[in-house]
Chain A
């Protein structure tokens, strides 16, 4: 019995560190609607700065002051980031801020290695909390008890702050309805900045408090960011109590789960999230969001199919690309094939995101399923390459059909997180089922057959399929189905009112996107000659999101450009420098500032400016656009 009690306390201590970071993320999201990918980076910076300070100033006072000062220092960094970077892009399309914070995260990963060196650092133990107390023969570290006590205190203080101060009232109001708060004359700028500062402070505090238990190293951010997101979503976005309950739930399930299934940790949080979201679509303590008042259809330039001239230009572009093998070596062709494959992948996510308004955080699942489909067909069934290429993507299609059915019941970030959960579940199956998938050692020896083995033939195959895929997605976009899908995106209520079966339309779109992603994955397996669980992983899903956002989410085919630019840049940088993350992150941040609508979105805006001579929009429409913005 004593053991179970101690295990329970241990779970609570793990929950405490999770909660501190999650609460900050939840507050930031609730008010600013920023999916703050850099939250993990602030957590890591908190740990590094606290390490430096506590090494420098020893003694009890030095330690505790070091923790607090470190959190404040990082909060100041957060304020700078918010004022210099994020303020410029609050009005950018949804999720665009994700791109900026992703770029920051990349930069911080390299920066901490440059500043603090590559080695794992061992921080001091907390003065007064070095030992353990005995409880019926079981040892409980006193630092755990400290953390267990701290998290309800933080929860209480946050509660007081939000319930008993004017600032807290404003924050709660903004969480509920930003536009109304703005309409009432509250200075949103400073409200956002202060909220961001508080959130970053909590993240950094969470990191700083880890130094007596953990090693400080440059991968801390990625280790925590996804788990924290999951906790926030399980709890319900913007709900601090929800974050607390979710942190405790996840940690306790883990603490007791490993007693029965020692391998459960790898997937537990995602399983919990999937179950919670299917049962309660807005998390444990979340509330259904009011339908968005924004009408995206008015704020973007209306979409139209290509004009005759543009169509010729596209063919000419394709012809130029097809001539590449005449002038270049094998390596450039292989890179070209890889870029073409990512064009397909990004275009499929773009279809889901911009046409369907459904941002998936787990799109790599269908890419990877396509790749594994090839691996199974080629290695186990021994089918020829053509048959594999036709049938392999069906695994992606099947996965999308199953998961999509559940995912489209949700919307917004909850939809995104459920897709992430499904992707992680698929990933962990590929990772754990060693007998079938080879685990993380993957499946090797999937090289293309002779007719496609040469770099030039494979390149032609890839760009051919890419052109077909992009064209097909465009045709679907401008088909009646595409219009129906856009209607569900622009206004769910109105589209349902005119008799569109929104869920069925969205589900179909999900399956289409998953299948096309599967095609990309199938080609990728042949390009690389092997399949690894990486091809289902979070980082690939994030890459796809970045490509779409970079291209411009409000465009018809911006993802094509986004994929080409991002992939080319990242392959080139990885080849040229060990600091590829720093440079790539920096470039992304600059692009975010320079092209707040994405590259293609910006080009289109410029083109429209040039066409000013065209008749001005009717005054009524104009005022509605302003209202919508």
Chain B
């Protein structure tokens, strides 16, 4: 078994390679960033552009108390186990002071647990699962995006005003879809005890067989439909639903559909009048957003997606935390981040002390078609802080540190 020789030799080569990159220059502060670049390029490409822009702005404004901010970015190939490997590399050999990023909920949770174990500060950018700040929350993990619960609360507020009493749901069969439906149902039933849930469909994520699903929903004859599918599943669902007349005279409430990532592929087939959460970049007229969009378009010659906002604000928030903490000690960073308020393209946001969730909100509006493209109209910004449960409920859900 001379294979063992090779094991040793191979590892030695690897070690040599790593020793180089471990030489961090003084005068730099490194942040480690992990995301599913190869698995979900439709989201992560704009996301990357967003954080690149933020990084440039931070360093142009003097960096982190005079030190240059550096982002080391790694791909997790969409697997929690690979994400842990990447996190390990970033912390052990790149010597980053903070981890950020992640898209999928299970990857966010894996990295958050890693951060808790290794006592590293982790700013989760995108994962939506409520568990990451509540039932599986820990003191090292903060989250930027409005959670599943917050988005469900925003949509339920609008949906409760509809006259519809018979509701059907369709959601991808994994944690995100399951908890989105569960929270929405709970909040709706509190507001509207008269509502009946007549059908639920759980297609596997990415494998929606649209015809039978649309037909099954139509057969239950609902007055309104809650949709949680997105991406390619959404395209199939919309196309089949349009052809079969599923959405005719029915209200539809839909998670994430207003985000350009998911709305733009629908083009002229965009269904009209769905109540959605999303990002109508063409309609937001705040000074902070104007500044962001001008800089973004000048740098990339492209319009921003929601991922751009998430990437941009993640690095902005990371920088704000590091500047305030003025230290590489994770405990000091936690102290700095708790209750920290900062501007964002959507308005002022705060990282709550109680559960480390940011109060970044989302836009709620209706879908429409203009010039053969899907857009959001009548959009209103819903501030995240108004759509969170009471502090007592939160502390009941969140384990003590």
Contact = CB atoms under 8 A, between A and B. Distances in A.
Contacts of B14: 328, 332, 335, 568, 572
Interface stretch (B231-239, B249-257, B330-338): B231-239
A66 interface: no
A213 B236 CA distance: 6
B80 interface: yes
Contact of A528 (B11, B84, B243): B84
Interface stretch (A33-41, A318-326, A381-389, A620-628): A318-326
Nearest to B243: A141
Given A262-B200, A328-B15, A528-B110, A580 B38 contact: yes
A113 B106 contact: no
A532 B204 contact: no
A279 B114 CA distance: 46
Contact of A441 (B86, B88, B106): B106
Nearest to A256: B212
B370 interface: no
Interface string B324-356: 000000000000000000000000000000000
B81 interface: yes
Interface string A555-579: 0010011001100100110110111
B4 A321 contact: yes
Contacts of B232: 120, 214-215, 217, 219
Contacts of B85: 334-335, 338, 571, 574-575
Given A213-B239, A265-B209, A317-B7, A332 B200 contact: no
Interface stretch (B264-272, B281-289, B312-320): B264-272
Given A213-B210, A534-B81, A122 B204 contact: no
B196 interface: no
Nearest to A4: B219
A1 to B, nearest CB: 12
Given A10-B212, A327-B15, A122 B175 contact: no
B245 interface: yes
A409 interface: no
Of residues B85, B129, B131, which shows the largest number of chain A Cβ atoms within 10 Å of its Cβ?
B85
B25 interface: no
A529 B118 CA distance: 11
Contacts of B92: 329-331, 334, 455
A472 interface: no
Contacts of B215: 3, 6-7, 10, 138, 255
Contact of B131 (A140, A258, A441): A441
B163 interface: no
Nearest to A7: B215
Interface string A183-225: 0000000000000000000000000000011110111000100
Interface stretch (A173-181, A400-408, A442-450, A480-488): A442-450
Interface stretch (B71-79, B150-158, B293-301, B389-397): B71-79
B219 A3 contact: yes
A532 B111 CA distance: 13
Interface string A586-627: 000000000000001000000000000000000000000000
Contacts of A265: 173, 202-204, 207, 209
A115 interface: no
A311 to B, nearest CB: 8
A439 interface: yes
A10 B209 CA distance: 10
B128 to A, nearest CB: 12
A52 interface: no
Interface residues of A, number: 100
Contacts of A439: 174-175, 178
Contact of B11 (A13, A262, A332): A332
B3 A529 contact: no
A532 B245 CA distance: 39
B212 A254 contact: yes
A213 B7 CA distance: 50
Nearest to A267: B204
A214 B244 contact: no
B2 A313 contact: yes
Contacts of A330: 88, 92-93
Interface in B116-139: 116-117, 129, 131, 136
Of residues B1, B213, B218, B267, which shows the largest number of chain A Cβ atoms within 10 Å of its Cβ?
B1
Contacts of B39: 219
B132 to A, nearest CB: 9
A265 B105 CA distance: 22
Nearest to A311: B1
A80 interface: no
Given A118-B45, A119-B42, A329-B15, A215 B236 contact: yes
B5 A139 contact: no
B15 A13 contact: no
A258 B81 contact: no
Of residues B3, B18, B269, which shows the largest number of chain A Cβ atoms within 10 Å of its Cβ?
B3
A372 interface: no
Contacts of B113: 444-445, 529-530
Contacts of A329: 15, 18-19, 22, 92-93
Nearest to B44: A118
Contact of B10 (A10, A314, A564): A564
B240 A317 contact: no
A167 B9 CA distance: 53
Contacts of A143: 243
B57 interface: no
Contact of B2 (A141, A255, A317, A539): A317
Interface string A279-300: 0000000000000000000000
A132 interface: yes
B109 interface: yes
A212 B269 CA distance: 12
B211 interface: yes
Contacts of B261: 119
B109 A444 contact: yes
B52 interface: no
A609 B91 CA distance: 48
A255 B210 CA distance: 10
A122 B235 contact: yes
Given A144-B211, A316-B4, A317-B7, A119 B264 contact: yes
Contacts of B105: 440-441
Of residues B41, B92, B117, B212, which shows the largest number of chain A Cβ atoms within 10 Å of its Cβ?
B212
A56 interface: no
Nearest to A334: B88
Contacts of B223: none
B162 interface: no
A498 interface: no
B383 interface: no
Contacts of A431: 174
B11 A132 contact: no
A541 B4 CA distance: 24
Contacts of A121: 265
A535 B82 CA distance: 11
Contacts of A350: none
Interface string A335-366: 11011000100000000000000000000000
A489 interface: no
B206 A574 contact: no
Given A324-B15, A441-B175, A313 B80 contact: no
Interface in A423-457: 431-432, 434, 439-442, 444-445, 447, 455
5 contacts: A120-B265, A258-B212, A440-B106, A442-B109, A577-B75
Given A265-B204, A439-B175, A529-B114, 10 more contacts: A131-B243, A132-B245, A139-B243, A223-B206, A262-B200, A265-B203, A434-B175, A534-B81, A578-B38, A580-B38
Interface of B: 1-12, 14-15, 17-19, 22, 37-39, 41-42, 44-45, 74-77, 79-82, 84-86, 88-89, 92-93, 105-106, 109-110, 113-114, 116-117, 129, 131, 136, 173-175, 178, 199-204, 206-207, 209-213, 215-216, 218-219, 231-232, 235-236, 239-240, 243-245, 261, 264-267, 269
